[in-house]
């Protein structure tokens, strides 16, 4: 995947969100502080376009841009070295824990990091551009007081996550894990209130952007370059087969296929019954012989696999929660197993 940041000086995409007002359009004397976390190609392009010499950029880091996920395309001050290291170690420790344990661990370490970063926000900054994960904790530290701010969003708001998972749980009737993550009511309400105050919300995720029609600036997803692959008509489902990926819907849609459904990732929650499946691991040639992907997931925050599939001509059938532009996928109800057998 090409993760090189782009700017309006280096591409011809005149219809993308970069051509709406960005922090760079403020008066030259206004200082903006960017309080960021991990680099996505899309937000790296935003920084490359909008960062100015009088701006400040602070982010976690362990040592001079290591890990590379914190290597922003602008002068960056990497802070909270030990808090960053503790977060990485904690994430490894709970990698195989339940969703509730993982999420509470992430929230705890996000708070610790955000409070450390808040101490270094330049007092002269009149405007902030902040990563969504830091938002409640920067408010707790008082860093948002008297300032305007924009938010870079990489996931749905907590309240929307709860709503979507509750709807899926009501349909599935029996999953023990789909609703195991819950942020506290206080945190849900605080995030919602802060997002309503944001001047702009930047995200490449079209589902998230649709929630904030008056504030959202929709960034362009970076697609990887297509590469040679074996063509075919096989239909695939992106695992792991946890409940929120809705393998129950994939199983129903795949009945009638003349070849087994290709399932990527672990098979942990759904018994596929008598539906023929072929389990595969993701790898460099994972798209060989794949012609279509069924993606009924309740929500997808970073659809890199779908972007790679589309860049290589694979048809995607998905929900609006997949995050892709509407023209890049077909609704699930339009999928017909019969047409893939022709």
Closest CA to 69 of 298, 302, 311: 302
**Structure confidence at residue 25 (pLDDT):** 44
Mean pLDDT value across the chain: 85
Q: What is the DSSP string of 142-161?
A: TTTTT-EEEEE--S--HHHH
pLDDT tens per residue, range 246-263 = 888 999 999 989 999 999
pLDDT on residue 48: 94
Mean pLDDT across 315-335: 95
Digit-coded pLDDT (tens) for 126-167 = 999 999 999 999 999 999 999 999 999 999 999 999 999 888
Per the structure block, which two tokens stand in for 24?
């760079």
Say which range, 80-94, 124-138, 272-286, 325-339, has the weakest mean pLDDT: 80-94
**Confidence band for 265, pLDDT divided at 50, 70 and 90:** confident
CA–CA separation, 274 and 258 (whole Å):
14
Q: Which of 28-42, 123-137, 204-218, 283-297 has the lowest mean pLDDT?
A: 28-42
C-alpha to C-alpha distances, 8 to 5, 34, 90, 264, nearest whole angstrom: 10, 20, 38, 37
Per-residue pLDDT, 169? 86
Q: How far apart are CA 217 and CA 200, in angstroms?
A: 7
If one compares 247 and 218, the residue with the highest pLDDT of the two is: 218
Residue 192 has pLDDT above 90, yes or no: yes
pTM to 2 decimals? Answer: 0.86
Of 119, 198, 191, 122, nearest to 155 (Cα)? Answer: 191
Assign 329 to helix, strand or coil.
Answer: coil
Domains parsed from the chain with CATH numbers:
17-218 (3.40.50), 234-341 (3.40.50.2000)
């Amino acid at each position: 995947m090409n993760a090189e940041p782009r700017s309006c000086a280096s591409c011809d995409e005149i219809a993308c969100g970069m051509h709406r007002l960005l922090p760079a359009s403020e008066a030259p004397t206004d200082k903006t502080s960017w309080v960021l976390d991990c680099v996505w190609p899309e937000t790296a392009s935003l920084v490359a376009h909008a960062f100015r010499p009088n701006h400040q950029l602070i982010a976690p880091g362990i040592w001079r841009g290591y890990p590379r996920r914190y290597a922003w395309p602008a002068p960056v001050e990497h802070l909270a070295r030990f808090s960053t290291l503790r977060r990485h170690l904690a994430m490894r420790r709970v990698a195989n824990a339940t969703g509730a344990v993982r999420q509470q661990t992430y929230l705890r370490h996000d708070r610790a990091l955000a409070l450390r970063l808040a101490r270094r926000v330049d007092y002269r900054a009149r405007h902030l551009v902040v990563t969504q994960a830091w938002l409640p904790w920067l408010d707790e530290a008082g860093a948002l007081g008297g300032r305007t701010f924009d938010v870079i969003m990489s996931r749905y708001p907590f309240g929307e996550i709860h709503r979507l998972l509750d709807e899926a749980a009501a349909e599935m009737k029996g999953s023990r894990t789909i609703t195991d993550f819950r942020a506290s009511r206080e945190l849900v309400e605080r995030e919602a209130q802060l997002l309503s105050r944001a001047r702009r919300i930047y995200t490449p995720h079209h589902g998230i952007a649709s929630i904030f029609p008056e504030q959202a600036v929709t960034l362009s997803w970076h697609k990887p370059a297509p590469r040679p692959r074996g063509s075919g008509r096989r239909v695939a489902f992106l695992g792991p087969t946890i409940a929120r990926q809705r393998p129950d819907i994939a199983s129903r849609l795949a009945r009638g296929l003349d070849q087994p459904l290709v399932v990527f990732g672990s098979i942990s929650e759904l018994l596929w019954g008598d539906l023929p499946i072929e389990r595969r691991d993701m790898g460099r040639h994972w798209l060989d012989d794949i012609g279509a992907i069924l993606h009924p997931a309740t929500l997808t925050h970073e659809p890199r696999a779908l972007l790679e599939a589309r860049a290589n001509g694979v048809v995607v059938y998905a929900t609006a929660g997949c995050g892709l532009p509407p023209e890049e996928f077909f609704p699930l109800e339009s999928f017909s197993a019969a047409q893939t057998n022709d």
